[in-house]
Amino acid sequence: MEMEDDGRDVEHMGKEEDRIIISSRSSSGGLTLREPLLVKNNNRLNTTSQVAIVGANVCQIESLDYEIVENDLFKQDRRLGAKAEIVQYAILKWTFALLIGLGTGLVAFFNNIGVENIAGFKLLLTNHLMLDHKYHQAFALYAGCNMVLAIAAAALCAYVAPAAAGSGIPEVKAYLNGVDAPSILAPPTLFVKIFGSIFGVAAGFVVGKEGPMVHTGACIGNLLGQGGSKKYGLTWKGFRYFKNDRDRRDLITCGAAAGVAGAFRAPVGGVLFALEEAASWWRSALMWRTFFTTAVVAVVLRGFMEYCKGGICGLFGEGGLIMFDVNSVKPAYSIPDLLVVIFLGVIGGLLGSLYNYLVDKVLRTYNIINEKGPIFKIILVMIISFLTSCCSFGVPWLSKCIPCPPHVGDQCPTVGHSGHYKNFQCPPNHYNDLASLFFTTNDDAIRNLFIAGSHKRFQLSSLLIFFVAIYFLGIITYGIAIPSGLFIPVILAGASYGRVAGSLLSPFTVLDVGLFALLGAASFLGGTMRMTVSLCVILLELTNNLLMLPLVMLVLLISKSVADCFNKGVYDQIVEMKGLPYLEVHAEPYMRHLVAGDVVSGPLFTFSGIEKVGNIVHTLKVTRHNGFPVIDEPPFLEAPELCGLVLRSHLLVILKHKAFTTRPNERSLIMNKLRAHDFGKPGSGKGIRLDDLKISEEEMEMYVDMHHITNKSSYTVVETMSLAKTAVLFRELGLRHLLVVPKTSGRPPIVGILTRHDFMSEHILGLYPHCNSRK
């Protein structure tokens, strides 16, 4: 319930309207309608914060309307709707799913090719200087290129779209839960997410493009669900079907799944990611559409890979379309090997929970810096960029040069292209194993770690140094003002300590060190992300090794279970830290000791079934509520009766179209003048604003028949229902408003309205602090 100004409302309204006034006949026999009704049930206020951090800016948070409003106009549209419209709607849904897949696939290809060419050109120039022993110039060029790219990414985030900073997965997850955070899916955010991610990853930061790709796919889905643009004349009658939050939610879910499919080339993993982590509501029809969308992404990427064979698209590496193929090694394992896997899972859970704890602390510190202004965001990015460049260029000097294996031939050392044996400063026929991990792109570093074969390819000390560096660089990099994902840093760190474990335990196990790297990455992912099914399938699709399924399942389950003993998953922590009012799938234990009526906050404004225009305008001005109960009263009925709920946005449409009557008992023009699609929710625009409406004094004395726009099937609960049960009902149905009705007769027909903020722990424990200690 948006109550930011409710304290002021109560003070202003208390003397004049803090009472229930029933409609009555005047002495002349005419009908006198009451003033707006303020039900005096319990004037406790919801004083908890209803703002959240979006791109380091504090923004007002509202909820999304996922509920179908079944009013008279909606029913009339259903009666008049032809079968052709139903078919058209179904075709459009699948067409949009196709377009989301095509768009996300193209962006994924463009993103990868951009990173590979920019990073490849930078590394190629630096390598030429290294071969000429011009080490100072090489570092200056390397750090300078990284700094320019970092500043470009930071400037886009700081000045164009602050909401594009970070991963974007927490924001998408909150949106699909029903949280309407400003600008997180706007077109500028999409633009900055694409180019900022390219610049940030190419700048050598320890970040991934996978999280930003999820956000990008969601932005593409939202853009298609805007219902056209009146500003640019891009409107069509068919787009009206998607002018509601419910259909946009489905498109954004498809976009999030497509983002994972485009980032990892894992179409099934994308569907499961949307099901397990992103979406709060799911149904079989949505499963089909997300599966179709990710299949389109896979086909698009496969087509571009075929086109780019031979290296014609990528200056460096294999075009960046990652596939860590470890299927050349067939795992054979026994009971001792399973004990080793369990050990890896425990280590991954412990390291993952510590990682999440440190990320939370760093993010809170960075928020203090970022709040000071855009220039401070850019300075922070520059500092982290210089530190990363020093680490990437300086740490390989700690490693000794290793003679090239005799069986690899011309592949060692690698000069001028992607490979497993970086020359760096070494003499001919030698390579630097740390440079093979640091002085390359993140995707190629993962390939090097996952590669099967001798555990002597990397020295144990080099793997430990790389793990420590990546672990802490990933922590301090996430949260700066660039698009940044967590998947790649976590996979790098997990694969490095997995390979360490494989090297140490090689006398006791038959598993290859490359498989140990995969299991280490899985354990660390499970310890940080706290996902199981989707991560398992993503890793198997990435590595093309289905035989590893039992071991990956085991290590994910153990790492998640261990990490859950200490804190939440990283995305859940970020949602909580940003202040986004996310509703969990389960109710808190203390909610079992309370009932719905215990947490209802006021004041509550209601309307009569037939209401004066002036009363409507006045109520909309003095409140920021988005839902108002409609009550039929005498003389129309013998006793007050709850008719339903009317939305603020629908009232604004009525005021804009001036669908008024001069007398209360006059036939309303609403059914003839308006259709249900006229009440469709606008896209990213502002929609109708009360301040922009011009209503004369004469019109203020006219009337509106609320019955035609009232949702007469709005959800209600009795005030004595358990709060735990109420919270689960509210989330499972995807509600924005839940009406609370009295248990006994002889009272006003409504006790209050529950909204998302009324279920927040801050509000409930603020009212009943003693509940915090109850189990």
pLDDT at 709: 92
Backbone angles phi, psi at 748, to 5 degrees: -55, 145
pLDDT at 324: 66
Q: Is the peptide bond before 187 cis (omega within 30 degrees of 0)?
A: no
pLDDT at 228: 58
pLDDT at 10: 33
For residue 570, name the pLDDT band (cuts at 50, 70, 90): very high
pLDDT single digits (tens) 298-331: 999 988 888 887 667 766 545 445 566 555 566 7
Higher pLDDT, 519 or 420: 519
Q: Which of 253-262, 429-438, 546-555, 757-766 has the highest mean pLDDT?
A: 253-262
Q: Are 490 and 525 in contact (CB under 8 A)?
A: yes
For residue 275, name the pLDDT band (cuts at 50, 70, 90): very high
**Minimum mean pLDDT among 447-456, 645-654, 700-709: which range?**
447-456
**Minimum mean pLDDT among 77-86, 285-294, 645-654, 695-704: which range?**
77-86
pLDDT at 30: 40
Query: Across residues 236-242, what is the average pLDDT?
Result: 69
Neighbouring CB atoms inside 10 A of 380's CB total 19
Element containing residue 51 per DSSP (H, E): strand 51-54
Bridge partners, 718 (sequence order): 741
Q: Are 54 and 371 in contact (CB under 8 A)?
A: no
What is the pTM (predicted TM-score) of this model? 0.89
Q: Are 498 and 521 in contact (CB under 8 A)?
A: yes
pLDDT single digits (tens) 589-619: 999 999 999 999 878 899 999 999 999 999 9
The span from the CA of 86 to the CA of 67, in Å, is 20
Q: Has residue 18 got a pLDDT over 50? A: no
pLDDT single digits (tens) 667-681: 777 887 888 778 888
The span from the CA of 115 to the CA of 570, in Å, is 26
Q: Has residue 771 got a pLDDT over 90? A: no
- Residue 339's SS3 state is helix
Residues 6+ apart with CB under 8 A from 463: 496, 497, 499, 500, 503
Burial grade of 692 (CB within 10 A; 0-12, 13-18, 19 or more): exposed
Query: Across residues 686-700, what is the average pLDDT?
Result: 87
Residues 6+ apart with CB under 8 A from 174: 181, 575, 580, 582
For residue 31, name the pLDDT band (cuts at 50, 70, 90): very low
Q: What is the mean pLDDT of the chain?
A: 85
Instruction: Name the token pair of 306.
Output: 């075929």
In the chain, what percentage of residues exceed pLDDT 70? 87
**Minimum mean pLDDT among 107-121, 486-500, 627-641, 730-744: which range?**
627-641
Sorted by where each starts, the structural domains of the chain and their CATH numbers stand as 86-233+241-309 (1.10.3080.10), 343-402+429-578 (1.10.3080.10), 589-772 (3.10.580.10)
For residue 416, name the pLDDT band (cuts at 50, 70, 90): low
Task: Compute the half-sphere exposure of residue 693: CA atoms within 13 Å on the CB side of its CA.
Answer: 24
pLDDT single digits (tens) 184-196: 898 899 999 999 9
pLDDT at 75: 83
For residue 731, name the pLDDT band (cuts at 50, 70, 90): very high
In the chain, what percentage of residues exceed pLDDT 90? 51
For residue 493, name the pLDDT band (cuts at 50, 70, 90): very high
CA distances for 224 relative to 86, 174, 249, angstroms? 19, 20, 12
